[in-house]
């Protein structure tokens, strides 16, 4: 499986997926830390991929997503955006609604 297929597979199999530097409990950059906090604050289980441990994903995901930076949040197969977008949505209550709806559909 080539790396683009791997990325597609990860996005398809995980309703809520955060591509980040490090892990939610040990983020390796401030943007990833804020993004993980926002997603954790939504109260649903989510998957993550540490792009520092996956250099091929780090190199190819920006091309696939047409989004140049990390972290990247994917919900129900759609790119939500990076940490600024996530935080703005979280503050408005939009991120919680989006994630809860996607999680409930996935668990239905």
User: Which two structure tokens, joined as six digits, stand for 15?
Assistant: 């309703």
Q: Which of 87, 7, 81, 1 is nearest to 42 (CA)?
A: 87
Is residue 29 marked as binding?
yes
b/e burial code for range 84-108 (CB count within 10 A of at least 16 → b): ebbbebbeeeebbebbeebbeeeee
**42 annotated to a ligand binding site:** no
58 marked as part of a ligand binding site: yes
Q: Which residue has the tokens 């955006």?
A: 81
Which structure tokens are listed for 4? Answer: 């683009």
For helices 30-40 and 94-107, give the axis angle rounded to 10 degrees: 60
Binding residues for [2Fe-2S] cluster: 29
Binding residues: 21, 29, 58, 70, 83-84
Binding residues for glutathione: 21, 58, 70, 83-84
């Amino acid at each position: 499986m080539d790396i683009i297929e791997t990325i597609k597979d990860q996005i398809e199999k995980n309703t809520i997926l955060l591509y980040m530097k490090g892990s939610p409990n040990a983020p390796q950059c401030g943007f990833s830390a804020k993004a993980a906090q926002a997603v954790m604050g939504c109260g649903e289980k989510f998957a993550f991929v540490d792009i520092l441990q996956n250099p091929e994903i780090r190199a190819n995901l920006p091309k696939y997503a047409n989004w140049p930076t990390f972290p990247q949040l994917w919900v129900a197969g759609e790119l939500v955006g990076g940490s600024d977008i996530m935080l703005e949505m979280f503050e408005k209550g939009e991120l919680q609604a989006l994630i809860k709806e996607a999680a409930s559909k996935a668990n239905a």
